Copies of this chain bind each other. A is one copy, B any other.
Amino acid sequence: MIGAHGHGGLVLRGLKDAPQVELTAISAGRADHLEKLAGQCRALAGQFFSPSKYDDWRKMLDLAVPDIVCVDGPLEQHAAMCAEAFRRNIHVLVEKPAALRLDELRMLEETHRASRSHLTALMNLRYHPAFYAAWQLVQSGALGAVRAVNAQKSYILGQRPDFFKQRATFGGTIPWVGSHAIDWVRWYSGADFERVAAFHSRIANRGHGDLESTAVCNFRLRDGILAAVTIDYLRPASAGSHGDDRVRVIGTDGYVEVRDGQAWAADAGHDGLYPVAPAPAGSLLADFVAQIEGRGACRISAADVWRVTEACLLARQSADDGRLLEFT
């Protein structure tokens, strides 16, 4: 494990689902994060493992020689950390976004192409029972061909640590918060991105510097499939939950939506809106191990990681520059 910046705790909690995996070593890109991570390990995995602590994550990769590393360092170090793992053919679970700049992303893809590393990202919402049930319904063909995906991410801002306040260390609200929704667009549609037009604004960000409080991103995908992603950090503290994640997938023969953690659908086989039974959650870590061992596939492929990261960064650029952008 490197770092405790984002959702690395998901991997720690997932260790119980992957009995082949032993947590052998931890390090971080920041000294205080090593202590935080050590504390998380004691709380969550300490009953089984006593990982070695390394002050230098590169040294850890060299000396502990892990099969898999979870990259959850400061966001601006993700690309360098992944690249070093790829050069050592270590498999990587990376917290999103994998890179904060397009040039970093190109470098990273190239490094990965030359390695034998498997790669996935902590897109944990693909493992959410309602979102996965919605995906299975789409796959069943009951909704026909997907023609549009509308997604919403709305979070409480509160008071955030300083790294949120600068573009160089946060990357922007579209990559950080929007990446989940942009991942849904690709996942549910099964289509590749062609064009993006986005706007964002920093107004009303409660003293959070560069952080964008609102964003809207439109995508055109292959075959004229359309997507709209809306993002905000303006959810009131009184709302009763941290986030308000929603997606609506519109097919030629019906639609499915997820809100409040429950999937609902309408199609020719039912009268009116009906609830979709939640799917078993599954385990990202167990699936990733199965993929490495040639026994299956993780729900988030390396191609997904590259394309969704690119879509986030192009959307951010579109919003920064006030231009419609084409994917290459």
Contact = CB atoms under 8 A, between A and B. Distances in A.
Contact of A230 (B204, B225, B228, B266): B228
Interface in A177-191: none
A198 to B, nearest CB: 7
A234 interface: yes
A253 B236 contact: yes
Interface stretch (A29-37, A50-58, A214-222): A214-222
Given A199-B195, A218-B218, A204 B145 contact: yes
Interface in A191-247: 195, 197-204, 213-220, 223-228, 230, 232, 234-240
Say how many copies of this protein the assembly contains: 2
Contacts of A220: 199, 201
Interface in A94-152: 144-145, 147-148, 150, 152
Nearest to A271: B238
Given A152-B150, A218-B199, A251-B234, A228 B226 contact: no
Contact of A226 (B148, B215, B268, B324): B215
A239 B266 contact: yes
Interface size on A, as a range, is: 35 or more
Given A147-B213, A203-B147, A216-B218, A197 B266 contact: no
A59 interface: no
13 contacts: A147-B213, A148-B230, A148-B232, A150-B216, A150-B230, A154-B250, A195-B199, A195-B322, A235-B266, A236-B267, A238-B271, A240-B271, A323-B324
Ordered nearest first, which 6 A-B pairs have the shortest CB separation?
A197-B197, A201-B224, A240-B272, A239-B266, A216-B228, A199-B220
